[in-house]
Structure 1
Amino acid sequence: MKRPSLLIAVWILSLLPSGALAQNDMLLSDPESECALAIAGESNVDWDGPYGRGYDVFDETIAYESIEILVQHTGGACNFILTATPVSSGGRAVLANGTAQLEYDVLRETTGPSIISGSLEGTPSSRIQGAFGPGESMAAALLSIYIPPLQFVESGTFDGQFILRLYREDGASSTLVDERPVTIIAPVAARLRIDAPDFANGSTVALIDLGELSGGARKDVAFDIRSNSRVNVAVSSANRGELAHETAPTSIPYRVSGGGQLINLSDRAGRRIGSSFAGRTFAVEVEVPPGSYPAGRYSDVLTVVFTTE
């Protein structure tokens, strides 16, 4: 007797180094007047990621988004301090989507150090310090927003804020003269990865040999799923749940279960499984009952489709 087979197809759907700021001298104002300072520049960051699609939980690429911050000065000479404090519970630099959190940092350029601190006046390592002479001038700096890769969070839009605070140094003390909130928005795309041992070298097609059918047959095909979104699984059969004889007009009905539940192959309705944050195995179980079947080769094409919501 020829050996029957079952074909399964899977379709997977900154600031300058050492805290210095670049300074541009402008038209002089009254050098005898009091030093006046203000923050200007960008206040919103759209984190697009290295490929313009937001944050990808499976991507190991290091990426940054940059914003330009200005410190404007008029009047007499003075020194200043610029600090950054996250707006979140616990003082952690996180973007939130409901209860899910995505860690981030704000660096001087892309090499650091971090300017984020839980202290309003910063720490020695996080403060940006500078000095202005008398007159009117401006200091410009580039800050880099960094979201570490491989944070496995659910899909959706994450957002958060940090506050830039500008202090004027007055001898041994400092005075808060301006502050500016900066909002970060980072979309996290729904992503899906599937590993299937029966599918060699990343192929999406596998030939499953069921062996001799007269005594019945069973085969389990495992799909290891990892996704940051809910996953829908749809299973369909080219022959509506029957193994068709290669030449004769006869067929053998068989059963398919997915995730332990019987799947109706008379239509294309699928079954949904939940978010698989820690990894999950979805097993497709093919079972042929024992019987006296005409000799020959039987086959069907079973298609398993995984999609994210």
Structure 2
Amino acid sequence: MNNRSWGPLAIIALFAASGDAARAQDVIDGSGGPCRLDLSLAGGVDWLGPVGRGYDIFSKAESYESVTVEIRHSGAACRFFLTGFDRSAGGRPSLANGSNELVYDVLPTANGPSLLSPDYFGSQQSRIEGMFPAGSSVQVVALLVAIPAGQIVRSGRYQGQAMLRLFSDIEGNPQLQGEAPLTITTRVPSALVVNSPDFGGGARETNIDLGDLNGAAEREVQFEMRANADVNMSFHSASGGVLSHANGAPGVRYEVLVRGAPVDIASRDMVMLPFRPDGLDYDIPVQFRVPGQGASRAAGQYHDTLTITFNVP
């Protein structure tokens, strides 16, 4: 009996959002001249990931999307610093899809440190500091939005927002000069991985020998599955759930059980495996049983081809 399984990966489009820039307020420096600062962003971040499909829960590659911050200055010389905070309700920066959370960060470089801090003025580590000479000039700051690899989250569209804050810092007296929201959006496609120790070398089909059918027979195949969505497990028997005799003698009906529960493969029953928020694998034993009977069965070879399909929406 042959057995096949595969799991298609759904591709979901990405959407973009943009943030509005905030105008600066005037600050008077120690010499009495006005220092004016203005903060603006090029737009929001549409986080595409390493291959442009969004966040792949199985990818181990770290990936970043860049965003450009423009700081405009006019007037007297002054020092400044840029920091930010996450606007989600949780205790860590995260993008939301209902009650599901995808952790993210905003960094000055790939090695950090984070620009985000719950402190209003930011922490010493979360600040990007700089200096403007007197006159009019512009400084451009490149930031990276990171979504760390290895997060098993439900598929869907995730969105969140960080607020960037620009302060003048004159004689150790920081004054808020402007705020700009940074909206971050990504898609998490449905993803599925299925393995089985009974399918050698990554093969997609195998043979199961039920042995002598004059009595009862039973065999088991083990599957291990990980997914970030509900999974439908369907069955298609070429002979309608019957082991057909090679020479046309009466066939032998067999039973299939998934995790101990019987499945009517003759009517193409499906088994639904719900998403596991703990991110752990499903262990899925599939048993094949031939009940015993009093009368002997015709001698010869019996076979069927059973296709098992794992599918995510």
- TM-score, normalised with respect to structure 2: 0.87
Runs of 4+ in 1 over 3 A off after TM superposition: none
CA distance in 1 between counterparts of 2:255 and 2:70 reads 68
Q: Deviations over 1:265-288 (max 9, x none)?
A: 223342212113322122222111
Alignment of structure 1 residues 82-101 onto 2, 5 Å: 82-101=82-101
1:193 alignment counterpart: 193
Identity within the alignment, % = 37
CA distance in 1 between counterparts of 2:311 and 2:287 reads 20
| Amino acid in the other structure paired with 1:138 | V
2:149 alignment counterpart: 149
Structure 2 residue 8 is matched with structure 1 residue 8:
no
| Amino acid in the other structure paired with 1:281 | D
Alignment of structure 1 residues 120-269 onto 2, 5 Å: 120-269=120-269
Cα pair 2:7 2:312 within 8 Å, conserved: no
Q: Deviations over 1:79-131 (max 9, x none)?
A: 11111111123552111222221111111132322211111211112111111
Cα pair 2:249 2:298 within 8 Å, conserved: no
Q: Which moved more, 1:182-191 or 1:269-278?
A: 269-278
CA distance in 2 between counterparts of 1:125 and 1:289 reads 69
Cα pair 1:92 1:118 within 8 Å, conserved: no
CA distance in 2 between counterparts of 1:216 and 1:150 reads 45
- Aligned-pair RMSD on alpha carbons? 1.7
Q: Equivalent of 1:281, from 280, 283, 307? A: 283
Q: Which moved more, 1:36-45 or 1:89-98?
A: 89-98
2:114 alignment counterpart: 114
Alignment of structure 1 residues 10-49 onto 2, 5 Å: 10-13=5-8, 34-49=34-49
| Amino acid in the other structure paired with 1:282 | I
Cα pair 2:256 2:262 within 8 Å, conserved: yes
Task: Give unpaired runs (5+ residues) of structure 1.
Answer: 1-5, 14-31
Cα pair 1:198 1:206 within 8 Å, conserved: yes
Distance verdict in 2 for CA 1:266–1:90, change over 3 Å = closer
1:296 alignment counterpart: 300
Alignment of structure 1 residues 32-71 onto 2, 5 Å: 34-71=34-71
Cα pair 2:222 2:286 within 8 Å, conserved: yes
CA distance in 1 between counterparts of 2:213 and 2:81 reads 80
Cα pair 2:3 2:207 within 8 Å, conserved: yes
Cα pair 1:43 1:181 within 8 Å, conserved: no
Q: Tell me the secondary structure at the aligned position of residue 69 of structure 1.
A: strand
Give the paired residue count. Answer: 287
Cα pair 1:91 1:118 within 8 Å, conserved: no
| Amino acid in the other structure paired with 1:160 | G
CA distance in 1 between counterparts of 2:4 and 2:181 reads 51
| Amino acid in the other structure paired with 2:264 | N
Structure 2 residue 312 is matched with structure 1 residue 305:
no
CA distance in 2 between counterparts of 1:210 and 1:72 reads 77
CA distance in 2 between counterparts of 1:95 and 1:180 reads 18
| Amino acid in the other structure paired with 2:51 | Y
| Amino acid in the other structure paired with 2:6 | W
CA distance in 1 between counterparts of 2:150 and 2:142 reads 25
Cα pair 1:53 1:189 within 8 Å, conserved: yes
| Amino acid in the other structure paired with 1:38 | D
- TM-score, normalised with respect to structure 1: 0.88
Q: Which moved more, 1:286-295 or 1:136-145?
A: 286-295
Report the alpha carbon displacement of residue 191 of structure 1 after superposing the two structures with TM: 1.1
| Amino acid in the other structure paired with 2:288 | V
Q: Which moved more, 1:140-149 or 1:243-252?
A: 243-252
